[in-house]
Amino acid sequence: MMCLGAGVLPAAAATETTQQRVASMPSSNVTQALVVGSMAFAMIIAIAGAVLYHTAKGARSRHSDTPAE
């Protein structure tokens, strides 16, 4: 999903119509920065959650294989 977004979004942003619309909006740079920053933050949180989940899942499965002492 990330590869699709990384490949398609820059290509869509490079069209002439999009560039003309962006040039006519004075606050578009701030809006774009906020959107990109928010998406990056959300992806970092999602990746950290996935790493934490798989780490906990792996630790739980390792502990269940060992016999109780």
Most confident residue range from 7-11, 45-49, 53-57, 60-64 = 45-49
* pLDDT for residue 38 is more than 50: yes
State how far the Cα of 41 lies from the Cα of 62, in Å rounded to an integer. Answer: 32
Structure-model confidence comparison of residues 33 and 6, the more confident one: 33
29 is written with which tokens? 């740079």
pTM of the model: 0.49
Q: Is the pLDDT of residue 4 over 50?
A: no
Residue 53 token pair: 């989940």
Q: What's the CA gap between 60 and 69, in Å, rounded?
A: 17
Residue with tokens 């398609």: 8
Task: Indicate if the pLDDT at residue 18 is higher than 70.
Answer: no
25 or 41, which is more confident: 41
